[in-house]
Amino acid sequence: MAKIPITLTINGEPHEALVEPDRTLLDVLRTDLGLTGTKTNCLDAECGVCTVLVDGLAVNACLYLAVVAQGRAITTIEGLASPGEGLAPAGALHPLQEAFVEHGAVQCGYCIPGMILSAKAYLDDHPRPTEAQVREALAGNLCRCTGYQKIVDAVLAAASRMAGGAVAS
Amino acid sequence: MSTGTRVAGQSLPRIDAPGKVTGSAVYAADFALPGMLYGKVFRSAEPHARLVRLDTTRAASIPGVRAVVTAADAADVRYGAAVKDEPVFASDVVRYVGQPVAAVAAVTLEAAEAALAAIEAQYEPLPPVLDLAAALAPGAPLVHEGWRDYTAIPILQRDGNVCNRARIVVGDVERGWVEADHVFEQRFTTAMVHQGYTEPRAAVAAWDSSGQVTVWSNTQLPFDVQATLADILATVPSKVRIIVPGVGGGFGGKLRIGVEHFAALLARKSGRPVKVMTTSEEELVAAYPRQGTVIELKTGVTRDGRLTARQGRIYFDTGAFAGSGPGVASVATMVLAGPYRTPNLHLEGYAVYTNKTNCGSYRAPSGPQSNFAVESQMDIIADALGIDPLELRLRNIVHEGDEGPTGQVLSAVGLEECLRRAADAIGWPDRRPAPGRGKGLAIGWWTTTGGSSGVYVKINPDGSVTLNTGAVEIGTAALTGAAQVLAEALGVDLADITVISGDTFSTPFDFGAQGSRTAFAVGNACRAAAAELQRKLFELAAAHLKTDADTLELRDKHVVGPGGRVTLAELARQSQVAGGGMIAHGTFIAPGTAYDTKRVEGHAYPAFHSPSFHAHAVDLSVDAETGEVTIHRYVVAQDVGFALNPTYIEGQIEGGVAQGLGQTLSEEIVYRDGRVLNANLTDYKMPTTLDVPRIESILVEHPGRVGPFGAKGVGEPPNIEPPAAVANAIAAAVGTRITALPITAERIVRGLSRDEGDGGR
Amino acid sequence: MSRFDYHQPESLADAVDLAARFGGQASFLAGGTDLIVQIERGRVAPRHVIGLGRVPGLAGIEVNGRIALGARVTHRAIEQTPALAGPLRCLVEGAEVIGGHQVRNVATIGGNLVNASPAADLVPCLLALDGVVTLVGPGGEREIPIERFLLGPNRTARRPDELVTRVDLPALPPRAATAFLKAGRRRAMEISVVCVAARLALDATLERCLEARVVLGAVAPTAVRAHAAERLLEGQPVGGEAFRRAAEAAQEACRPIDDVRASAGFRQHLVGVLVRRALDRCVERARRAA
């Protein structure tokens, strides 16, 4: 079949691509669009490093066809921080990103984009989670470096900040 | 914790965090070049066979394929960390399922995969050596017929399928058995497990017109890859440049050449850049996992619980090539001794060839396996003698000034404090707080690996500081720790320091991210460079402030004297204008640790440098019907010497225990008839958020004499004690002693029914 | 070059036409978490993939005594539907344990049923609830009870030119409760070593079982009802002896295999444990609800 022209709305911006229908969203993001913030590993929905948000829901981009993503709002890690203005070097980090930095939740960092997006999707729906709920929300994101503890702490802290008050733990 | 230090010892955010949380940090798996081809590796389908025919003609004519390489395209060399037994591609004999036989590069990954499918290989099976017993049986087929001809580290004791036998002998164990009131003999087994880094091994290679190749790779040790690759390419190391953009976890599995050679050979043949990346399946079939082992441990003890003698044999199934096996077998003997006073020792580690994947180094190599045996047996002994397991350990542990097993004198021994604090925190001695619930302890010791590190440190005219190091940041935040040491020495802030790392062309030599050595060695190299910078700064400042150099000090980004002060920035500017710039070279190698050479044989690792000591304690419940284990609390007390950055040290402990729990409860690479049955992440089961408990870290500080501010290596130790701690707690909880890893639910249920005399199902 | 042609029908009729045209050369794509994996691994190689994302009427959940679940209902939708949280709770319990959120957000019950993995978690729950599958093909619509729909590992009664459109669950009798339990080697992201879905309907005294369903997963080529176990429960007082005998009968009904996840013997042992526990939980829930 000939390539299909698609427009992917990524982090609010339209990106045009010409793709074979069997290409995954992960591959198109990384190879065609140079957005390597979304990572590649098992290609089997087992590890979660490829997690992106599609219409606010966390999905594994490795099993999501690019042609199916047409017409949907895709959020990748590159879309979380606000862009810099004027001469400022960088914009503001999302509270989740800030919390991950502050709580020592980042080690090698390869699982982190997927982890942050899974957390964001959950917090957007459940602003005051318990620790158990945060762990459950992140169960599809493997981390080999941290043992998850500081990641969980960071998500709870970010939830607090985003909800404007203390979150029960 | 900080004892008057300003930067070192503070829990400051790591310097590379912003790039990682925004997705802008580039890892080798992300790296790409215009016009790049995709490379894939064709691998052996047989565990042991003659490769009688290899035909790549059809593959080469698949549309999109631009190069095919086989053994004919590489120098006829073998490589390996201890024994040079491994070829790039098999040419006459294949020795494991997954061994590389050829590689292809094509315009798309799909075309490369189609080319693999078009390669024709014909094998004549040879008798496979499937496990340790088969390898060691008299008359066993040889995995390497030509083993004698291989170049190897001279110290190794090799014979047939044994690629090293390391030995420690102290006193006379026969006398020890006589002195003992009881002798305990147990056998333990552990499975092959994978490091589980989330970023696959990846490399992009590109040649330039001067015959130089650059390879962007996620190696932990670029200088080793450089040297090995130069041999394979029949060139000199200065024509091989290894650059590490970023590493998504390594844990030892990315220490040795992985896919860099395939990328370089394909790039040379095709004339285009080539990227090669492993799949999860390749990782679980053909990487550098942790060796599976069999351990036979015999220990003599008096009735009041004093160890009199220990005889131990640990056999490492190191796969088709020696890999790290010989060294690991050596280290094992140190762990088998344990941090205990035992007058008579006869400890042996064997690295054994089989027709499985080449095994390598994985976080505390030999540690978890050996410690599982030692610490499980200590509890078996304690229970048999009716002595509390904590008490038994306290009666035998080493203290300041004691000797290690090879005669090294131990100092900064924080072991007793670790043991008492961990036991206290878990609520010892209430070992069985409820039915089905139990607590377990395990202790150990470990090394801070030596090897040299060099750094260049430059102070820039804007006052910033550049730290240029050949070390690689694999995620531990070791380079942040080293930068903290540098900031402390120079009187600047961590935020003033930029780190450049991991480029064999432009960064000084570093022995690599291994053996818990990076913050330690790079930190000390930074101190050396800072001392030299201080000398130069004071020389300039003395003139500038019209005073003597010995009246000056570094403080707050200034050189301060009795009559005035000048910024480092200004001095750097002056130096740049008139003196070529404010830069210094610092180097460090740990001084050797004296030991008794007569006690060791075939031993590649006869002393633990700046040793660390640790104690783990766990409180768990076992569902006796399903065998499911629920961990309620897990405590680690670790003697870190000096906590350079407590937050990230906790991170090493939390992550190391999580990895250790995976090895303990759920992970194993399963072989049958020389083939891996579970080469995917569905069935290679690493712990998720729901499987790892909260871990409580107690950082104990008995500063050593060598490390920066007394720091010791911290990254590997947390991986060592989980198997024994958990096995001991399970025994306390439900009475069943499991001597095999992983301790699966099935093993627990079978163990319980065996204990009840039902004979199992 | 793409491995398959992609089609995006915008009506059920068009979807069925395409399936009729391409037959065994085509696969339907719902969430993709089974199909795309299998294509990537080379286990299936459809020449045509028919995406269902634009076909209306397949993703609804209706609850009015009976339950109707559209084939494209996701596991997430099941988790988040309050009406399914009561006596029908095993459905939620079976849905919430598969994969992680990423998988549950897109994976559908239709896809799960058609994939018919012997270890599927949701399928035993649908079977325990007497689910009936509706298929639409060129010849029209037909209904098959799930027990007859499942034929073997990854094999169902669906003809290549048919599309599963919905699963209907009859209304539960009064004083009914369900439970789902699973055993595996880790607590998330797990293919069941054994799973059990159970349903009990109690009499007015809440002491006697009137109707029972005991369904076992991962211990036979398909999810299976342990009919003998069910017969041993119906009419009997709950708990104790009846549950023990039912658990034993369930053990006899299973045909587990040895594989890399567990031995057959251990699976059989777990069936006994999980059946008993699932039945206990049903009683607990029925009594609490009353």
> Among C141, C169, C197, which residue terminates a domain?
C169
Same domain assignment for residues A107 and A132: yes
8 Å CB contact of A63 and C33? yes
Check: CB of residue A164 under 8 Å from CB of residue A127.
no
Q: For chain C, which chains pass the contact test of at least 3 CB pairs under 8 Å?
A: A, B
Nearest 5°: the CA angle B655, B660, B666 is 120
Check: CB of residue B733 under 8 Å from CB of residue B619.
no
Task: Look at residue B557 and tell me if it is in a domain.
Answer: yes
Residue A169: predicted pLDDT: 47
Q: Residues 22-51, chain B: which have Cβ within 8 Å of A?
A: 22-27, 29-30, 32
Same domain assignment for residues A131 and A72: no
> Per the omega criterion (within 30 degrees of 0), is the bond before B429 cis?
yes
Same domain assignment for residues B355 and B324: yes
Q: Could you tell me where the beta strands, DSSP code E, fall in B302-452?
A: 307-319, 344-353, 437-446
Tokens matching residue C4: 């398959």
C64 three-class SS = strand
In terms of Cβ atoms closer than 10 Å to its own Cβ (0-12, 13-18, 19+), residue A86 is exposed
Sign of CA dihedral B303, B307, B309, B310: positive
Taking only the tens place, the pLDDT of each residue in B219-257 is 999 999 999 999 999 999 999 999 999 999 999 999 999
- Return d(Cα A94, Cα A78) in angstroms, integer: 11
The Cα-based distances of A8 to A5, A16, A74, B446 in angstroms read 10, 6, 8, 52
Tokens matching residue C206: 């809440």
Give me the sheet containing B274-277, strands edge to edge.
B65-69, B100-106, B37-43, B274-277, B202-207, B213-217, B240-243
Same domain assignment for residues A74 and A99: no
8 Å CB contact of C33 and A60? yes
Tokens matching residue A77: 């890690």
Same domain assignment for residues A75 and A101: no
Check: CB of residue B403 under 8 Å from CB of residue B595.
no
Tell me which residue in C100, C191, C266 faces B746 most closely, judged by beta carbons: C266
Give the CATH number, domain containing residue C26. Answer: 3.30.43.10
Taking only the tens place, the pLDDT of each residue in B333-376 is 999 999 999 999 999 999 999 999 999 999 999 999 999 999 99
Same domain assignment for residues B265 and B359: no
In terms of Cβ atoms closer than 10 Å to its own Cβ (0-12, 13-18, 19+), residue B110 is middle
Task: Look at residue B43 and tell me if it is in a domain.
Answer: yes
> Among C105, C139, C169, which residue terminates a domain?
C169
* CA B362 to chain CA centroid, nearest Å: 4
Structural domains counted in chain C = 3
Task: Look at residue A88 and tell me if it is in a domain.
Answer: no
- Return d(Cα B145, Cα B128) in angstroms, integer: 13
Note whether B759 contacts A: Cβ–Cβ < 8 A: no
Same domain assignment for residues C30 and C70: no
**What range does the domain containing B271 cover?**
31-126+198-249+254-285
| pLDDT at residue C22 tops 80 | yes
Chain B residue numbers touching A78 (CB-CB < 8 A): 22-24
8 Å CB contact of A80 and B249? no
Check: CB of residue A102 under 8 Å from CB of residue A125.
no
8 Å CB contact of C101 and A137? yes
Sign of CA dihedral B674, B675, B677, B682: positive
- DSSP state, A31? I
> Among B232, B262, B285, which residue terminates a domain?
B285
In chain B, which residue's Cα lies nearest the Cα of A139? B689
Structural domains counted in chain A = 2
- Return d(Cα C42, Cα B279) in angstroms, integer: 15
Same domain assignment for residues A36 and A68: yes
Task: Look at residue A154 and tell me if it is in a domain.
Answer: yes
Task: Look at residue A85 and tell me if it is in a domain.
Answer: no
The predicted model scores a pTM of 0.97
In chain A, which residue's Cα lies nearest the Cα of B473? A108
Check: CB of residue B89 under 8 Å from CB of residue B266.
no
Q: Could you tell me where the beta strands, DSSP code E, fall in chain A?
A: 4-10, 13-19, 51-54, 57-60, 73-75
**What range does the domain containing A38 cover?**
4-79
The Cα-based distances of B278 to B270, B281, B284, C91, C121 in angstroms read 20, 8, 10, 39, 31
- Return d(Cα B562, Cα B567) in angstroms, integer: 15
Task: Look at residue A53 and tell me if it is in a domain.
Answer: yes
Taking only the tens place, the pLDDT of each residue in B364-414 is 999 999 999 999 999 999 999 999 999 999 999 999 999 999 999 999 999
The helix or strand, by DSSP H or E, that contains position B342, with its residue range, turns out to be: none
**What range does the domain containing C36 cover?**
5-51
The pLDDT > 70 percentage for chain A reads 96
- The pLDDT confidence band at residue B4, using thresholds 50, 70 and 90, is confident
Taking only the tens place, the pLDDT of each residue in B191-218 is 999 999 999 999 999 999 999 999 999 9
| pLDDT at residue B746 tops 50 | yes
B430 three-class SS = coil
Check: CB of residue C214 under 8 Å from CB of residue C233.
yes
Same domain assignment for residues B559 and B634: no
Taking only the tens place, the pLDDT of each residue in B293-313 is 999 999 999 999 999 999 999
Residue B761: predicted pLDDT: 34
Residue B653, min C-alpha distance to chain A (Å): 8
Taking only the tens place, the pLDDT of each residue in C23-63 is 899 999 999 999 999 999 889 999 999 999 999 999 999 99
8 Å CB contact of C260 and B678? yes
In chain B, which residue's Cα lies nearest the Cα of C40? B110
- Return d(Cα B29, Cα B13) in angstroms, integer: 25
Tokens matching residue B410: 């131990």
> Among A38, A55, A79, which residue terminates a domain?
A79
- DSSP state, B51? E
- Return d(Cα C223, Cα C123) in angstroms, integer: 7
Task: Look at residue B404 and tell me if it is in a domain.
Answer: yes
Name the pairing type of β-strands C132-137 and B600-601. unpaired
Residue B58, min C-alpha distance to chain C (Å): 19
Same domain assignment for residues A154 and A110: yes
Same domain assignment for residues C243 and C276: yes
Same domain assignment for residues C162 and C181: no
Same domain assignment for residues B543 and B641: no
Same domain assignment for residues A111 and A154: yes
Same domain assignment for residues A106 and A144: yes
Task: Look at residue A90 and tell me if it is in a domain.
Answer: no
Residue A165: predicted pLDDT: 66
Taking only the tens place, the pLDDT of each residue in C137-196 is 999 999 999 999 999 999 999 999 999 999 999 999 999 999 999 999 999 999 999 999
Residue B255, min C-alpha distance to chain A (Å): 15
Nearest 5°: the CA angle B420, B424, B425 is 120
| pLDDT at residue B760 tops 50 | no
Tokens matching residue B114: 């189609």
Same domain assignment for residues C25 and C73: no
**Number of Cβ within a 10 Å radius of residue B138:** 4
> Among A24, A46, A79, which residue terminates a domain?
A79
SS3 readout for B490-559:
HCCCHHHEEEEECECCCCCCECCCCCCCHHHHHHHHHHHHHHHHHHHHHHHHHHHHCCCHHHCEEECCEE
User: B301, B297, B298: which is closest to B396 by C-alpha?
Assistant: B301
Residue B453, min C-alpha distance to chain C (Å): 41
Same domain assignment for residues B234 and B276: yes
Q: Between helices B722-734 and B646-665, what is the axis angle to 10°? A: 60
- Return d(Cα B214, Cα B237) in angstroms, integer: 11
> Among C118, C151, C169, which residue terminates a domain?
C169
Residue C151, min C-alpha distance to chain A (Å): 26
The stretch A79-85 carries a mean pLDDT of: 86
Q: For chain A, which chains pass the contact test of at least 3 CB pairs under 8 Å?
A: B, C
Chain C residue numbers touching B744 (CB-CB < 8 A): 185
Same domain assignment for residues C242 and C145: no
The Cα-based distances of A66 to A6, A50, B209, B623, C28 in angstroms read 8, 14, 39, 45, 16
| pLDDT at residue B439 tops 50 | yes
The stretch B6-27 carries a mean pLDDT of: 97
Task: Look at residue B138 and tell me if it is in a domain.
Answer: no
User: B702, B667, B701: which is closest to B190 by C-alpha?
Assistant: B667
Same domain assignment for residues A58 and A107: no
Task: Look at residue B179 and tell me if it is in a domain.
Answer: no
| pLDDT at residue A29 tops 80 | yes
Task: Look at residue A84 and tell me if it is in a domain.
Answer: no
Check: CB of residue B85 under 8 Å from CB of residue B150.
yes
Same domain assignment for residues B456 and B570: yes
Residue A29, min C-alpha distance to chain B (Å): 11
Give the CATH number, domain containing residue C222. Answer: 3.30.390.50
Chain C residues whose C-beta is within 8 A of a chain A C-beta are: 1-6, 8, 29, 32-33, 36-37, 39-40, 49, 51, 53, 76, 99-103, 105-106, 187-189
Give the CATH number, domain containing residue B480. Answer: 3.30.365.10
Same domain assignment for residues A119 and A65: no
Same domain assignment for residues B541 and B676: no
Same domain assignment for residues B732 and B644: yes
Give the CATH number, domain containing residue A65. Answer: 3.10.20.30
| pLDDT at residue A166 tops 70 | no
User: B227, B329, B400, B340: which is closest to B602 by C-alpha?
Assistant: B329
The stretch C122-131 carries a mean pLDDT of: 98
Mutation choice for B interface testing from A23, A26, A41 by most B CBs within 10 A: A41
Tell me which residue in A101, A107, A142 faces B686 most closely, judged by beta carbons: A142
Check: CB of residue A8 under 8 Å from CB of residue A17.
yes
Residue A85: predicted pLDDT: 79
The stretch B166-183 carries a mean pLDDT of: 98
Chain B residue numbers touching C270 (CB-CB < 8 A): 626
C206 three-class SS = coil
8 Å CB contact of C183 and B745? yes
Same domain assignment for residues B238 and B90: yes
The stretch A110-117 carries a mean pLDDT of: 98
> Among B534, B565, B588, which residue terminates a domain?
B588
- Return d(Cα B389, Cα B374) in angstroms, integer: 13
> Among A27, A47, A79, which residue terminates a domain?
A79
Give the residues across from B54 on adjacent strands. B121
- The pLDDT confidence band at residue B2, using thresholds 50, 70 and 90, is very low
| pLDDT at residue B72 tops 70 | yes
Task: Look at residue B118 and tell me if it is in a domain.
Answer: yes
Q: Residues 645-664, chain B: which have Cβ within 8 Å of A?
A: 647-648, 650-651, 654-659
Give the CATH number, domain containing residue B91. Answer: 3.90.1170.50
Chain A residue numbers touching C6 (CB-CB < 8 A): 1, 4, 21-22, 65, 67
Task: Look at residue B162 and tell me if it is in a domain.
Answer: no
8 Å CB contact of A139 and C188? yes
Among all chains, which residue has been given the structure tokens 């040491």? B485
Give the residues across from A51 on adjacent strands. A60
Check: CB of residue B205 under 8 Å from CB of residue B232.
no
Tell me which residue in B196, B474, B690 faces A135 most closely, judged by beta carbons: B690
- Return d(Cα B264, Cα B275) in angstroms, integer: 9
Residue B756: predicted pLDDT: 82
Same domain assignment for residues B519 and B633: no
- Return d(Cα B73, Cα B260) in angstroms, integer: 15
The stretch B528-547 carries a mean pLDDT of: 96
| pLDDT at residue A90 tops 90 | no
Residue A76, min C-alpha distance to chain C (Å): 14
The stretch B91-107 carries a mean pLDDT of: 98
> Per the omega criterion (within 30 degrees of 0), is the bond before B742 cis?
yes
Chain C residue numbers touching A51 (CB-CB < 8 A): 102
In chain C, which residue's Cα lies nearest the Cα of A121? C101
Same domain assignment for residues A152 and A124: yes
Structural domains counted in chain B = 3
Task: Look at residue A67 and tell me if it is in a domain.
Answer: yes
ipTM score for this prediction: 0.97
Check: CB of residue A56 under 8 Å from CB of residue A49.
no
Among all chains, which residue has been given the structure tokens 């959940």? C61
Tell me which residue in A35, A37, A142 faces B688 most closely, judged by beta carbons: A142
In chain A, which residue's Cα lies nearest the Cα of C37? A44
Task: Look at residue C56 and tell me if it is in a domain.
Answer: no
Residue A102, min C-alpha distance to chain C (Å): 26
In terms of Cβ atoms closer than 10 Å to its own Cβ (0-12, 13-18, 19+), residue B178 is exposed
Taking only the tens place, the pLDDT of each residue in C234-252 is 999 999 999 999 999 999 9
Task: Look at residue A102 and tell me if it is in a domain.
Answer: yes
- The pLDDT confidence band at residue A162, using thresholds 50, 70 and 90, is very high
User: How many Cβ contacts (< 8 angstroms) between chains B and C?
Assistant: 49
- The pLDDT confidence band at residue C207, using thresholds 50, 70 and 90, is very high
User: B332, B333, B610, B655: which is closest to B449 by C-alpha?
Assistant: B610
Give the residues across from C177 on adjacent strands. C200
Same domain assignment for residues B314 and B440: yes
Among all chains, which residue has been given the structure tokens 């707690």? B729
User: How many Cβ contacts (< 8 angstroms) between chains A and C?
Assistant: 86
- The pLDDT confidence band at residue C1, using thresholds 50, 70 and 90, is confident
User: A168, B743, B199, A63: which is closest to C100 by C-alpha?
Assistant: A63
- Return d(Cα B430, Cα B410) in angstroms, integer: 32
The pLDDT > 70 percentage for chain B reads 99
- DSSP state, C264? H
The Cα-based distances of B710 to B273, B612, C86 in angstroms read 46, 11, 61
Same domain assignment for residues B431 and B569: no
